[in-house]
Structure 1
């Protein structure tokens, strides 16, 4: 199958983050089976979604990982010119949810497999396709935990997030959490008889705003844009009606940290502000939503040199978005970002990828296969 045909099949499966992914996993497993490649499926603790792993070549030798996620963000935005889960082609442009982020990489990888399978690989190429990356890389840690029993320690991992096929050496780490406050309801005419947790959340929100302001003062790492760690309160919910004292309120916050800083530590002031409310008769819950470390790969490492050779492009120092690459590096595997498409097209109506970008990615993977035969 051509990459565009594979992409059509993948886009037509609405594998939205946080939902069961059996349909896309089964399609890929069946495709691999047709090539004589065994897929290993590893369900996550959710029970209704799974990671997928496969090897081409001798898995007991050190080789390379091609990593991508099978989930996509929802497509509820206004402005789509066609069904986001039906691939539409207009000349070079292939439209649909996930074409760039990141089913294009999956399609190019799968299209390259017949060539790889027919090659006398000395070093293997592994596929690690994960679930719920868009919810904070929730699936891949479970797969990484199983990797030592599946293959020899890899020489490196290529994470195929959209980078215009330019290798990327670094990204920030991220941590996200939800604060939930529970108070006491009642009629708004008797505020003395209730505990208004929307009001109480104001001090937690102020702690987030204050920390965000402080982070803008440094420390700095000019590799990134912006060159400092950041924090934001992104979502707040509470109350039932204007004349009811709100007894429930949640606040979602996230921190993005430059290299060398644990993003979870940046959320500590928000958690402290929330827990201080417990003396006011408020029940406080703190839920970690997601976390992944920063990526920082040296520009003269073997993996960076290899991707420069494969793509013909000098590596980019860093990107602003996050990926699974930091988790691979934390697991002791050098990782680099390199994939087709442009991140500016992702998570938007009329997301698309170019056919030429798919072709360039497939060529890169097939060239990696030739490198693994030497």
Structure 2
């Protein structure tokens, strides 16, 4: 199968984050086993989702991990020109959910597997495919925790998120949480008998706005746009009718932190203000939604030099979006981003990738294999 046939099969699996993924993981497992790879499915605690780890070459020698996620975001938008889970080709463009983010990278890695298996690899190439990346990198920590069971400590991890096939050394960390405030309902004509959850949330929201403004004063990292950490309220909901005292209000918020700052620490003042609402009789809940650390690979790291040779381009210092690379680095492994596609095409109707980008990615992986065989 060539890279386009493989992408066609992968897109056909509606592997939306948060749902069972046995179909796509099972197909990849069978395909890689046919190529002679050592493959393991690693079930997560959810019971219906698995990570996948495969090795081509000697597992007891340090090598390289090609990392990607099997899940995609939903494709419910009515603006799709064709079925999002049926690959459609129009010239050099290949349309479908996940083509860019990031089944294109998976397809390129899988298409390179037969060539890699035919080499006498002195250093192994591993494939680490995770689940539920799109809802907070929930699957990959379970995979990372078990890496020592399956391979020697890798020399580096290449995370194939869409970067236009130019390597990227850094990204911000992220933490997200949901605030729920519960008060007491009643008729709006007697506000003295109720507890207005929206009014209480207004104080919490004010803290978010104030803290966000303070972050613009630094610390700074010029590699990023904006060059400082950020905090924002993303979703707020509450109330039923204008003449009913709202008894519940929820707020989803996120922080994005420059390297050196723990993103969860940026949420701490908001959490404290939320908990203070309890003194006024409200019941509050603080629910973490996701968290991953920043990535910051040094400019002189061997992995950065390797990717420059493989791609012919100097790695970028940083991008605005986040990836699983920060989690690999936090676990003690050098990590870098490099994959086909453009993040600007992801998470929207008529997501697409160029056929030439898939070819370039497969060639980069095969070039890595050639170096590992030297």
- Compute the TM-score of the two structures, normalised by the length of structure 2: 0.98
Counterpart-to-counterpart distance in 1, 2:132 and 2:210 = 31
The one-character-per-residue Cα deviations of 1:34-80 (angstroms, maximum 9, x if unpaired) are 22323211111211111111111100000000000011111122421
1:197-346 matches, within 5 Å, as: 197-346=197-346
Moved more, 88-97 or 33-42: 33-42
Deviation sequence 1:286-313 (CA, Å, 0-9, x none): 1111111100001111100111111111
In structure 1, how many angstroms separate the alpha carbons of the residues matched to 2:179 and 2:186? 22
SS of 2:214's partner is helix
What is the CA distance between 1:179 and its match in structure 2? Answer: 0.8
Deviations 1:208-255 (A, max 9, x none): 111111111212111001111011100112123333222111111100
Map residues 3-42 of structure 1 onto 2, 5 A cutoff. Answer: 3-42=3-42
Q: Rate the CA distance shift 1:62–1:89 in 2: closer, same or farther, 3 A.
A: same
The within-5 A match list for 1:161-176 is 161-176=161-176
SS of alignment partner, residue 372 of structure 1: helix
**What is the RMSD computed on CA atoms of the aligned residues?**
1.0
- Equivalent residues of 2:70, 2:130 under 8 A apart: yes
Q: Would you say the 8 A contact 2:185–2:196 is kept in 1? A: yes
Distance across 2 between alignment mates of 1:319 and 1:164: 12
Q: In 2, distance between residues paired with 1:217 and 1:76?
A: 39
Residues 260-318 of structure 1: CA deviation (Å, up to 9, x unaligned): 11111011111111011000111111111111110000111110011111111110110
| Residue 93 (str. 1) matches residue 93 (str. 2) | yes
Residue-by-residue CA offset, 1:112-153 (whole Å, 9 max, x unaligned): 000011110011111110011111111100100000111100
Q: Residue 81 of structure 1 aligns with which residue?
A: 81
Structure 1 residue 33: Cα displacement: 2.1
Hey, what's the Cα distance between the residues in 1 that align with 2:232 and 2:78? 25
Q: Which residue number in structure 1 is paired with residue 116 of structure 2?
A: 116
Whole-Å Cα distance in 2 between the matches of residues 137 and 72 of structure 1?
Answer: 12
Q: Cα offset for 1:163?
A: 0.5
TM-score (norm 1): 0.98
CA contact (8 A) 2:36 2:56 kept: no
Alignment partners' CA distance in 2, 1:133 and 1:272: 29
TM-superposed CA distance for 1:194, in Å, is 1.6
> Number of residue pairs matched?
374
Q: Partner of 1:66 in structure 2?
A: 66
Distance 1:186 1:23 in 2: 49
Check whether the contact 2:197–2:247 (CA below 8 A) recurs between aligned residues: yes
Q: Matched residues in 2 for 1:205 and 1:318: separation?
A: 30
- Partner Cα separation in structure 2 for residue 233 and residue 332 of structure 1: 32
Match of 2:182 in 1: 182
Alignment-derived partner of residue 134 in structure 2: 134
| 1:190 Cα deviation after fit | 2.4
2: CA distance, partners of 1:203 / 1:100? 40
